[in-house]
């Protein structure tokens, strides 16, 4: 019972199991690792059994997620042990712990080779398993010929042979240039004659790999595969143990059919007929039975058969039979079968002309779009997209639009894109196309990428018939109380160009159009303001005869923006003002946009790019964007050396809340990578015209989800310390994150969201607080007061007492660092909602490291400084205990994230870190700071830290600051999973696993 008879291992595992928490577990593991390390140090006294036990423990610790960075040598050395148990564990653990390029593997090659060519089959198996699992280049170079020999040797037993086949497969896959398979077709043919089904399964896997690389060489093997299938399908000569729930080795059947799909076609009529007979038998003979396992196995074979039929381009009759089967599958109760049914239908559409037959199942497919299983919904969306044509486009797009309201965030962007493409591709008339896209923007503006609305503009520009309709629609949407920023852009653009076509309608005079657009100006972001200015210029140009009142109004606006901080707006304002003075000449310059050259839709192109798996790609994008733009914070369009100086209280519009559900629109997906490099796309044309056009990231706003709380917190007494309104974010965690980042959400509760964005230069900082009212009523008695520590001078511009409904107010804040200190400024933020006074004290992330400027020093620069700062109080040293254990790499990352730049290689001892930075404050001016951290690899919880700078206070404060960072758990050094999910602004909706995940973590 040696396998399970290691008492020490069992005891250790039980102890780990009994640990109450992660910390205890870590302590226990650290203790064990220390123990193992000691034992390995005095290796002489170590019996092989003990060594084996320790190596098993190492593997267990490794699985628990602890880095085991020693003992590899011991694991590898066990491979050479003469006794089986040690050898076995040596092989097994080595294959888990070491990667293919590990130096120690080289040491083992000889032993491994001796085992492979030796006579001991047990050892052969172990060696082949190791090589197959690792598959490194050096293994391939020195062992592949031996493995090949073994595989074709007649004296080799099945057990060894099947492992040799898979071992060769792995070596070939990873190093096709090293493993020579010339002339292997004959050998492969022999291997496929094998009667033993175990060996045949492995050989077939090897065959698949060889054929996928070069099918030409293996035509001669094709009939053999068909023979194998015939044998299995007829259940001839299949030993009982190779039937799985009564089905002759489903794995082998599947593999064989897979292999056949790598041949472009089957020409030999006899082989083809034989194969189709088998396939027909599978298609017809598969019944749904009660036993789930049997069902799965038979359907595994069936789906593979379907794939093969599609690949072989069978006769129409067989194809419709397949569609009929799939139609049955997508309606069954078993979700796995539904999922695969939908997927295979989509695949079928791509290879053959079965659209008409598949359309019969449209209703069922649309039902699948409402399936509780997201995997199935994704497949249904793919299928609907693939099967859409002129005849059913209206229905399908209608469904997609409806689904958009309830879909997961992760699917919305993809949905929006697909709906837009289908609408464009199959629009029965242009006004319908217009309707769809505007609805799309209205319902899911955050998920509508720029390309989509650029495309609308192109369409309207190129189709004169559409222009009045488009203008009218745009006018209608502007009547809505809250519209999405993207909608604002489209509407303003369209009305600027074409509103004169509406002039005779009521409410559509230039003056009225201007009025309704201008009403929204205070709520839009900077790039949209540029578009609005263009619209004004166009409206002015179109108002003939000139209306002096309108002219004055618009001129006044141009005048106002001539001093805008934003270069783009300023330029437009100045130019439009000058142009509009030119009178009639204005018409030549501002005439209607010419038609766009016809080009392939960038949308369709984009969809093509992402065809492989749109869901994933778009998901990747949306996550990346979420990370890049931090909720509330307006992305900075300007070059870094041109900081935005917000001189007035600008109100930034908050996106419309989707009324249909309580989900809240996610933040805006940013320019969706459409403006990539390479050939110009359609998007570029407009992009140039309207640049800079990156959509900004206004905040996601939580909707009515918390309204139910209102009653509960109605009468919280004023001044009560404990607020009835609870923040919906972890303020402490956010603060930690913001100590490292420069923008993000500082605070959020059901009513208010506070974002922050900072720019630091030397000892000064320029921050902007974004106070966002998430509710539909205004917030009163808003107060923001700083309790500032003595070392910071803070100047906050006046905060308005009232924040209007769904508005966002920006409050600039100037920070000056007077002297070094770890103290933190506190923002006392209070407001009144209804009768509730909400009061919060928030730490301001204007911490010590914000006044650092990274600097990297060479050894020549570093050491003279280091030596010149010789003794306390300029240089302080301390042994720090209770450090959160982290690897050296993690610690270096932590320091770097604090702008203490680690210079690798400066310290000859690899366990030490040396870092440097420049600190700025009014009293110290710029001051070089040097840090050295010496870690103890045996005990990660303690280290010695030396800090030096030219200012005693600074040295002390910096030392304490770093200590705090090392002992606490700053968020930057946490595993990324913690940070990965959505930004905190997003309310957790139950239907979105991603969001729930975020909540859990």
Partner 1 sequence: MIRAMIVINNQGKPRLSKFYNYTPVEQQQQLIRSIYSVLCLQPENVSNFIEGGSIWVRQKTYFSDSRLVYKLFATLYFVFVFDSSENELAMFDLIQVYVETLEKCFSNVCELDIVLNYSKIHTILDEMILGGQVVETNSEKVMQAVEEISKLEKVTAATKLISKSTSVLWG
Specify whether the CB–CB gap between 906 and 862 falls below 8 A.
Answer: yes
Considering beta carbons, is residue 162 or 806 the nearer one to partner 1? 162
* C-alpha closest to that of 447 among 321, 621, 216: 621
3-state percent helix, strand, coil for the chain, nearest multiple of 5: 55, 10, 35
Question: Counting contacts by CB under 8 A, is residue 100 touching partner 1?
Answer: yes
Considering only residues 120 through 139, tell me which ones interact with partner 1, judged by CB under 8 A.
120-123, 125, 128-129, 132-135
Answer whether the bond into residue 545 is a cis peptide, omega within 30°. Answer: yes
CB 141 to partner 1: min, Å: 17
Q: Can you tell me the distance from the alpha carbon of 154 to that of 768, in angstroms, rounded to the nearest whole number? A: 78
Considering beta carbons, is residue 36 or 827 the nearer one to partner 1? 36
CB 129 to partner 1: min, Å: 6
Considering only residues 567 through 626, tell me which ones interact with partner 1, judged by CB under 8 A.
613, 615-617, 619-620, 623-624
Specify whether the CB–CB gap between 869 and 856 falls below 8 A.
Answer: no
Considering only residues 675 through 694, tell me which ones interact with partner 1, judged by CB under 8 A.
none
Considering beta carbons, is residue 556 or 628 the nearer one to partner 1? 628
Inter-residue long-range contacts of 638-647, CB under 8 Å, 24+ positions, other chains counted = 638/566, 638/567, 642/567, 643/759, 643/766, 644/565, 644/566, 644/768, 645/565, 645/766, 645/812, 646/565, 646/768, 646/810, 646/812, 647/565, 647/812
- Residue 774, CA atoms < 13 Å, CB-side half-sphere: 25
H-type helices in 262-334, by residue range? 269-285, 292-312, 316-329
Question: Counting contacts by CB under 8 A, is residue 910 touching partner 1?
Answer: no
CA 482 → CA 23, 491, 771, 778, 977, distances in Å?
51, 13, 19, 15, 36
CA 956 → CA 649, 799, 946, 970, distances in Å?
40, 36, 10, 20
Question: Counting contacts by CB under 8 A, is residue 1001 touching partner 1?
Answer: yes
Considering only residues 964 through 993, tell me which ones interact with partner 1, judged by CB under 8 A.
975-977, 980-981, 993
Question: Counting contacts by CB under 8 A, is residue 213 touching partner 1?
Answer: no
Considering beta carbons, is residue 349 or 725 the nearer one to partner 1? 349
Joined tokens for residue 578? 């000058």
Give DSSP secondary structure letters for 356-418.
HHHHTTHHHHHHHTT-S-HHHHHHHHHHHHHH--TTTHHHHHHHHHHHHTTS-HHHHHHHHHH
Considering beta carbons, is residue 178 or 579 the nearer one to partner 1? 178
User: Residue 283: which residues within 8 A CB-CB, separation 6 or more?
Assistant: 302, 305, 306, 309, 318, 321, 322, 325
Considering beta carbons, is residue 587 or 620 the nearer one to partner 1? 620
Considering only residues 837 through 876, tell me which ones interact with partner 1, judged by CB under 8 A.
none
CB 334 to partner 1: min, Å: 8
Which part of the chain contacts partner 1 (CB under 8 A), choosing from 251-259, 349-357, 419-427, 515-523?
A: 251-259
Angle of helix 450-462 relative to helix 682-690, nearest 10 degrees, comes to 90
Phi-psi domain of 744 (left: phi exceeds 0; alpha: psi -120 through 50; beta: other): left
The SS3 assignment for 987 reads coil
Considering beta carbons, is residue 159 or 501 the nearer one to partner 1? 159
CA 526 → CA 650, 751, 843, distances in Å?
10, 25, 29
- By CB under 8 A, the count of residues binding partner 1 is 105
Question: Counting contacts by CB under 8 A, is residue 85 touching partner 1?
Answer: yes
CB 89 to partner 1: min, Å: 7
Considering only residues 409 through 428, tell me which ones interact with partner 1, judged by CB under 8 A.
410
Among 8, 40, 60, 104, binds partner 1 (CB under 8 A): 60
Among 293, 552, 776, 968, binds partner 1 (CB under 8 A): 293
Which part of the chain contacts partner 1 (CB under 8 A), choosing from 162-170, 352-360, 581-589, 637-645?
A: 162-170
Among 31, 43, 63, 925, binds partner 1 (CB under 8 A): 63
Buried b (16+ CB within 10 A) or exposed e, 300-313: bbbbbbbbbbbbbe
Considering only residues 294 through 313, tell me which ones interact with partner 1, judged by CB under 8 A.
296-297, 299-300, 303-304
CB 415 to partner 1: min, Å: 15
CB 63 to partner 1: min, Å: 6
Considering only residues 17 through 36, tell me which ones interact with partner 1, judged by CB under 8 A.
17
Among 175, 201, 523, 918, binds partner 1 (CB under 8 A): 201
The SS3 assignment for 745 reads strand
Which part of the chain contacts partner 1 (CB under 8 A), choosing from 4-12, 228-236, 849-857, 876-884?
A: 4-12
Considering only residues 510 through 529, tell me which ones interact with partner 1, judged by CB under 8 A.
none
CB 435 to partner 1: min, Å: 32
Which part of the chain contacts partner 1 (CB under 8 A), choosing from 11-19, 395-403, 492-500, 852-860?
A: 11-19
Among 40, 70, 104, 244, binds partner 1 (CB under 8 A): 244
**Contact string (CB under 8 A) for partner 1, positions 364-403, x = contact:** --------xxxxx-x-------------------------
* C-alpha closest to that of 151 among 96, 191, 95, 120: 191
**Contact string (CB under 8 A) for partner 1, positions 326-365, x = contact:** ---------xx-xxx-------------------------
Question: Counting contacts by CB under 8 A, is residue 198 touching partner 1?
Answer: yes
Among 51, 72, 163, 484, binds partner 1 (CB under 8 A): 163
* C-alpha closest to that of 843 among 766, 767, 747, 920: 747
Joined tokens for residue 671? 């320019």
Q: Can you tell me the distance from the alpha carbon of 452 to that of 461, in angstroms, rounded to the nearest whole number? A: 14
Joined tokens for residue 803? 């924040």
| DSSP H or E segment with residue 525 | none
CB 386 to partner 1: min, Å: 17
Considering beta carbons, is residue 368 or 955 the nearer one to partner 1? 368
Listing from the earlier edge strand, what are the strands of the sheet with 836-843?
780-787, 826-833, 836-843
CB 828 to partner 1: min, Å: 35
Among 72, 224, 231, 258, binds partner 1 (CB under 8 A): 258
Question: Counting contacts by CB under 8 A, is residue 460 touching partner 1?
Answer: no
Which part of the chain contacts partner 1 (CB under 8 A), choosing from 83-91, 637-645, 696-704, 923-931?
A: 83-91
Question: Counting contacts by CB under 8 A, is residue 246 touching partner 1?
Answer: no
* C-alpha closest to that of 495 among 522, 477, 521: 477
Considering beta carbons, is residue 93 or 532 the nearer one to partner 1? 93
* C-alpha closest to that of 646 among 785, 796, 792: 796
**Contact string (CB under 8 A) for partner 1, positions 801-840, x = contact:** ----------------------------------------
């Amino acid at each position: 019972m040696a396998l399970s008879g290691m008492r020490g291992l069992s005891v250790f595992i039980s102890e780990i199991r009994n640990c109450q928490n992660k910390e205890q577990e870590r302590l226990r593991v650290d203790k064990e690792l220390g123990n193992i390390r000691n034992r390995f140090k005095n290796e002489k006294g170590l019996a092989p059994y003990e060594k084996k036990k320790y190596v098993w423990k190492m593997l267990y610790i490794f699985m628990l997620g602890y880095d085991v960075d020693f003992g590899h040598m011991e694991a590898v050395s066990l491979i050479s042990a003469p006794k089986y148990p040690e050898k076995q564990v040596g092989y097994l653990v080595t294959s888990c712990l070491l990667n293919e390029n590990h130096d120690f593997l080289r040491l083992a090659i000889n032993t491994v080779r001796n085992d492979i060519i030796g006579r001991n089959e047990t050892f052969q198996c172990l060696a082949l398993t190791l090589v197959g699992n690792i598959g490194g280049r050096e293994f391939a170079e020195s062992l592949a010929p031996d493995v090949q020999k073994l595989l074709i040797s007649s004296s080799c037993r099945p057990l060894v042979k099947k492992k040799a086949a898979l071992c060769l497969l792995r070596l070939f896959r990873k190093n096709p240039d090293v493993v020579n398979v010339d002339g292997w077709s004959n050998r492969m043919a022999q291997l496929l004659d094998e009667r033993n089904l175990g060996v045949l399964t492995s050989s077939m896997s090897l065959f698949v790999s060889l054929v996928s690389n070069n099918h030409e060489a293996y035509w001669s093997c094709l009939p053999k595969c068909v023979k194998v299938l015939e044998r299995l399908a007829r259940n001839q000569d299949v030993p009982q143990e190779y039937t799985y729930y009564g089905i002759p080795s489903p794995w082998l059947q599947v593999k064989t059919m897979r292999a056949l799909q790598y041949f472009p076609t089957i020409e030999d009529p006899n082989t083809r007929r034989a194969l189709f007979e088998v396939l027909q038998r599978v298609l017809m003979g598969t019944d749904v039975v009660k036993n789930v396992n049997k069902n799965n196995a038979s359907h595994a074979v069936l789906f593979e058969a379907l794939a093969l039929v599609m690949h072989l381009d069978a006769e129409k009759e067989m194809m419709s039979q397949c569609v009929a089967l799939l139609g049955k599958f997508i309606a069954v109760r078993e979700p796995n079968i539904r999922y695969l049914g939908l997927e295979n239908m989509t695949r079928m559409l791509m290879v053959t002309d079965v659209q008409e037959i598949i359309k019969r199942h449209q209703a069922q497919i649309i039902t699948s779009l409402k399936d509780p299983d997201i995997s199935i919904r994704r497949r249904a969306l793919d299928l609907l997209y693939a099967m859409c044509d002129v005849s059913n486009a209206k229905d399908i797009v209608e469904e997609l639009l409806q689904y958009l309201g309830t879909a997961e965030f992760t699917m919305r962007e993809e949905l929006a894109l697909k709906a837009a493409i289908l609408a464009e591709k199959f629009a029965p008339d242009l006004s319908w196309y217009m309707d769809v896209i505007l609805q799309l923007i209205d319902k899911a503006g955050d998920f509508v990428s720029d390309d989509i609305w650029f495309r609308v503009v192109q369409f309207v520009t190129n189709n004169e018939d559409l222009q009045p309709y488009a203008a009218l629609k745009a006018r209608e949407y502007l009547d809505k109380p809250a519209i999405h920023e993207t909608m604002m852009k489209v509407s303003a653009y369209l009305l600027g160009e074409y509103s004169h076509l509406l002039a005779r309608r009521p409410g559509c005079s230039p003056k009225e159009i201007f009025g309704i657009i201008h009403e929204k100006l205070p709520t839009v972001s900077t790039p949209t303001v540029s578009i609005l200015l263009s619209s004004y210029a166009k409206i002015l140009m179109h108002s003939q005869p000139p209306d002096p009142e309108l002219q004055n109004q618009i001129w006044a606006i141009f005048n106002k923006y001539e001093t805008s901080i934003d270069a783009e707006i300023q330029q437009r304002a100045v130019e439009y003002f000058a142009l509009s003075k030119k009178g009639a000449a204005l018409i030549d310059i501002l005439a209607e946009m010419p038609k766009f050259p016809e080009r392939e839709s960038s949308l369709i192109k984009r969809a093509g790019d992402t065809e492989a798996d749109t869901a994933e790609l778009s998901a990747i994008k949306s996550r990346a964007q979420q990370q890049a733009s931090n909720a509330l914070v307006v992305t900075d369009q300007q070059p870094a050396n041109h900081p935005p100086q917000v001189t007035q209280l600008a109100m930034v519009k908050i996106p419309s809340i989707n009324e249909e559900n309580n989900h809240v629109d996610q933040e805006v997906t940013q320019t969706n990578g459409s403006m990539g490099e390479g050939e110009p796309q359609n998007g570029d044309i407009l992009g140039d015209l309207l640049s800079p056009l990156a959509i900004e990231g206004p905040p996601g706003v939580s909707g009515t989800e918390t309204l139910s709380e209102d009653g509960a917190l109605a009468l919280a007494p004023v001044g009560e310390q404990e607020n009835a309104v609870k923040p919906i974010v972890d303020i402490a965690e956010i603060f930690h994150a913001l100590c490292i980042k420069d923008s993000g959400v500082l605070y959020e509760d059901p009513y208010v969201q506070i974002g922050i964005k900072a720019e630091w230069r030397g000892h000064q900082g320029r921050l902007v607080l974004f106070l966002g009212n998430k509710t539909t009523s205004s917030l009163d008695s808003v107060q923001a007061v700083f309790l500032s520590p003595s070392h910071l001078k803070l100047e906050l511009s006046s905060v308005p007492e009232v924040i209007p409904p769904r508005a966002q107010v920006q409050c600039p804040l100037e920070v000056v660092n007077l002297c070094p200190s770890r103290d933190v400024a506190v923002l006392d933020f209070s407001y009144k909602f209804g009768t509730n006074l909400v009061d919060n004290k928030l730490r301001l992330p204007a911490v010590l490291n914000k006044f650092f400027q990274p600097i990297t020093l060479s050894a020549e620069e570093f050491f003279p400084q280091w030596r010149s700062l010789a003794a306390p109080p300029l240089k302080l040293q301390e042994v720090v205990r209770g450090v959160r254990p982290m690897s050296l790499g993690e610690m270096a990352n932590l320091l770097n994230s604090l702008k203490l730049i680690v210079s690798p290689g400066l310290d000859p001892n690899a366990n030490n870190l040396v870092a440097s930075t420049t600190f700025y404050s009014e009293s110290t001016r710029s001051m070089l700071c040097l840090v050295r951290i010496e870690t103890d690899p045996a005990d990660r919880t303690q280290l010695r830290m030396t800090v030096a700078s030219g200012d005693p206070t600074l040295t002390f404060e910096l030392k304490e600051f770093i200590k705090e960072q090392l002992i606490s758990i700053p968020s930057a050094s946490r595993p990324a999973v913690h940070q990965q999910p959505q930004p905190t602004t997003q309310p957790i909706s139950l239907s979105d696993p991603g969001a729930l995940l975020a909540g859990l973590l």
